[in-house]
Chains A and B, each alone.
Chain A
Amino acid sequence: MTTPLPPQDPREPDEALPGEAELAALYRQLPQNEPGPALDAAVLRAAAQALETQPAVPVERRRAPREPGDWVHPKPVAVTPAAPAGSARKLRPRWLVGLSSAAALVLAVGLAWRMHESPRSESAPVASGSVAPVQAEAATNAPMPPAPLPAPPKQPPPRILAAAPHASMAAKSRQAVADKQAAPVSRDEQQLAGVAPRAPADVTRQASNEIATSAAKPAVAEAAASAPSLQSTMVAAPAPVAAAADTATSASDTPTQELDKIRLLFAQGHDDEARQRLAAFRHAHPQWELPPELQAKLRKP
């Protein structure tokens, strides 16, 4: 049987070893060597530079109450270098870069969408020396000239009539497309372009007429080539534009001009529209004596 010894306190003062006091007294008489000034300066300079290059972060104190003597054993988080502050400083530019990238992307998509939409919705007449682009622009969204051109009363009907069957078929097939394209044109845009507001029927009619004139492009080109005037050489095809404008309704038209346009419509094969306009003319001018051929057209169903 052994009796357990009481636990020894590690902080208990050590017993003095034999002769230790005498040796300690003699040891303290040894030269008290110390580092030189240069060594002191080097160490202190290193300590200062360490603080300058990497400024120490204040120790984060715990919010919970401490136990007695616990202040010397801070939690590991208390002595952790201030990574959050540094990382926040590093994250800030990355956050700005991300935001600016997203803004640039949105701007680019918006511009692309805008540019994709603009050819269909905006009118941009392009001056060109070629005939086809001008007519294509005119067929889609070219504004009508503000005033009717002095249309020649004697339009060369054979050339237009020659192109009429083909143009009528194309006009029927593109009728819906022309309606859709003409519909988005707002009243404000028309006013900005210097064009009086027109009825949808007029727009449709204009589209069909312009398709017809585009089908008659070879003949027009011949006419333009044979014209001696300088204007006809600079502008590729003034005649088809004038022909297309001849059939459009205009408030400034005299009754005679309106009847000429109705005749032109009949000649182009647009009998329904011509009859409608003829009926409207008869309603607007009941006392006007219609020519016999137009009276026959009006009576014919």
Chain B
Amino acid sequence: MDAAVDPDAMLMLAYARGDLAAFEALYARHRGMLYRFLLRSVRDPHRTDELFQETWSRVISARTRYQPQAKFSTWLLQIAHNLMIDSVRRQRPMADGDEAEIALANVAMPEQDQPDHTLSEFERRRSLQRAIEQLPDEQRTAVLLRLEQELSLEEIAAVTGAGRETVKSRLRYAMTRLREVLSE
């Protein structure tokens, strides 16, 4: 999507002019994907809540300086990624695998997606989830941005601050690892 016709950018500009309804629409469009990106990156619900709220606080405070030179989602994820990196640096180690599994499993799921619906699907999703958690941080972030947000290589590079080829390499390694886990 071109930033020139990004409806999210128009909503953000409208909010900068004082339109609260524009912010509510913008928030409704991005709240879920941002929350999932944070939750699957930090694997801690409490820290996820903190980072989620802090990310939107940065958006609110930066509304008057906002210039839609890129997609709003890219800008939003860039803020969240930077906050997450700072949080990781301040608070190591992150939750281990068991805690993360519990945290992710405690989240309510649709009834048709319950584990007893189909055991094979459940096992595949659980394997995928654990495989993503075990990826290195850079690869996990790139995979989440690619699979969750469906960002392009350039957009992932913009969010993470890495080069395009670096992002592409990370994605190749990560997806190869995920396919290996699923095929076991």
Contacts and interface: CB of A to CB of B under 8 A. Distances in A.
Interface string A7-43: 0001101100111101110111111111110011011
B153 A14 contact: yes
A59 B16 contact: yes
Contact of A19 (B60, B104, B175): B175
A40 B52 CA distance: 10
B147 A23 contact: yes
A72 B110 CA distance: 39
Given A17-B175, A43-B56, A51-B18, A27 B128 contact: yes
Interface string B168-184: 10011001101100100
Interface in A173-194: none
Nearest to A35: B35
A33 B36 contact: yes
B65 A79 contact: yes
Contacts of B178: 19, 23
B119 to A, nearest CB: 14
Residues of B contacting A: mostly: helix
A19 B179 contact: yes
Given A32-B36, A51-B18, A26 B53 contact: no
Contacts of B152: 13-14
A133 interface: no
Interface residues of A, number: 44
A11 B2 contact: yes
B31 A35 contact: yes
Interface stretch (B3-11, B73-81, B89-97): B3-11
B66 A29 contact: no
Contacts, number: 133
A263 to B, nearest CB: 100
Contact of A30 (B6, B53, B129, B150): B129
Interface in B125-184: 125, 128-129, 146-148, 150, 152-154, 168, 171-172, 175-176, 178-179, 182
A51 B20 contact: yes
A11 B74 CA distance: 14
Contacts of A73: 67-69
B17 interface: yes
11 contacts: A18-B175, A23-B175, A23-B182, A26-B125, A34-B31, A34-B32, A46-B53, A56-B17, A57-B17, A72-B4, A72-B69
